Amino acid sequence: MFSNTQIQTLNPPQRLLMGPGPINADPRVLRAMSAQLIGQYDPVMTGFMNETMARYREIFKTQNEWTMLVDGTSRAGIEAVLCSILRPGDKVLVPIMGRFGHLLAEIAERVGAKVHTIEVPWGEVFTPEQIEKAIVDVKPHVLAMVQGDTSTTMNQPLEHIGDICQKHDVLFYCDATASIVGNDLPADEWRLDALSVGLQKCLGGPSGSAPLTLSDKCADWIQKRKKVEAGIRTAEHTDGTEPFVRSNYFDLGMIMNYWGEERLNHHTEATSMLYCASECARIVIEEGVDNCVARHKLHGDAMLTGIQALGLNVFGDLNHKMNNVVGVYIPEGINADHVRGQMLTDFGIEIGTSFGPLHGKIWRIGTMGYNARKDAVLQTLASLDACLHANGYKGPKGEAAIAALAHYK
Binding residues for substrate: 364
Select from 177, 271, 324, 380 the one that contacts ligand PLP (CB under 6 A).
Answer: 177
Cα–Cα distance for residue pair 218/94, rounded to 1 Å: 18
Write down the least CB distance from residue 73 to ligand PLP, Å: 3
Q: Residue 156 or residue 257: which is nearer to ligand PLP going by CB?
A: 156
Give the chain as a 3 state SS string: CCCHHHHCCCCCCCCEECCCCCCCCCHHHHHHHCCCCCCCCCHHHHHHHHHHHHHHHHHHCCCCCEEEEEECCHHHHHHHHHHHHCCCCCEEEEEECCHHHHHHHHHHHHHCCEEEEEECCCCCCCCHHHHHHHHHHHCCCEEEEECEECCCCEECCCCCHHHHHHHCCCEEEEECCCCECCECCCCCCCCCCEEECCCCCCCCCCCCEEEEEECHHHHHHHHCCCCCCHHHCCCCCCCCCCCCCCCCCCCHHHHHHHHCCCCCCCCCCCHHHHHHHHHHHHHHHHHCHHHHHHHHHHHHHHHHHHHHHCCCCECCCHHHECCCEEEEECCCCCCHHHHHHHHHHHHCEECECCCHHHCCCEEEEECCHHHCCHHHHHHHHHHHHHHHHHCCCCCCCCCHHHHHHHHHC
Cβ proximity to ligand PLP, 80 vs 377, nearer residue: 80
**Applying CB under 6 A, which of residues 95, 123, 198, 331 lies at the interface with ligand PLP?**
198
Indicate the residue among 70 and 303 with the shorter CB distance to ligand PLP: 70
Write each residue from 204 to 233 as x if it is in contact with ligand PLP (CB under 6 A), else as -, in one continuous string: ---x--------------------------
Stretch that binds ligand PLP, among 170-178, 181-189, 336-344, 378-386 (CB under 6 A): 170-178
Nearest approach in angstroms of CB 193 to ligand PLP is 18
Does residue 73 touch ligand PLP according to CB under 6 A? yes
Per DSSP, what are the bridge partners of residue 366?
325
Binder among 149, 184, 301, 385 for ligand PLP (CB under 6 A): 149
d(CA 369, CA 56): 16
- The nearest distance, CB 282 to ligand PLP, in angstroms, is 21
Which one, 183 or 380, has the nearer CB to ligand PLP? 183
Distance CA 403, CA 302 (A): 8
Q: Which of 74, 153, 155, 383 binds ligand PLP (CB under 6 A)?
A: 74
CA proximity to 189, closest of 160, 167, 231? 160
Count of residues in contact with ligand PLP, rule CB under 6 A: 13
CB neighbour list of residue 316: distance below 8 Å, 6 or more residues apart:
122, 123, 124, 152, 153, 154, 327
From the list 143-151, 243-251, 297-305, 369-377, the region that binds ligand PLP by CB under 6 A is 143-151
Q: Which is nearer to ligand PLP, 179 or 380 (CB)?
A: 179
Stretch that binds ligand PLP, among 72-80, 162-170, 216-224, 242-250 (CB under 6 A): 72-80
- Whose Cβ is closer to ligand PLP: residue 193's or residue 385's? 193
To ligand PLP, the closest distance from the beta carbon of 105 in angstroms equals 12
- Position among 115, 146, 339, 351 found at the interface with ligand PLP (CB under 6 A): 146
Are residues 70 and 274 in contact, defined by beta-carbon separation less than 8 angstroms? Answer: no
Name the one range near ligand PLP by CB under 6 A: 173-181, 218-226, 254-262, 308-316: 173-181
- Least separation in angstroms between CB 247 and ligand PLP: 16
Contact 324, 367 (CB under 8 A): yes
- Residues that constitute the known binding site: 364
Instruction: Tell me which residues in 89-128 interact with ligand PLP (CB under 6 A).
Output: 100
The reply to whether 71 sits near ligand PLP by the rule CB under 6 A is no
Q: Candidates 84-92, 172-180, 213-221, 376-384 — which segment interacts with ligand PLP by CB under 6 A?
A: 172-180
Amino acid (1-letter code) at residue 82: L
| Residues 248-287: x where in contact with ligand PLP by CB under 6 A, - otherwise, as a string | ----------------------------------------
Residue 21 or 331 having the CB closest to ligand PLP: 21
Binding site for ligand PLP (CB under 6 A): 21, 73-75, 100, 146, 149-150, 175, 177-178, 198, 207
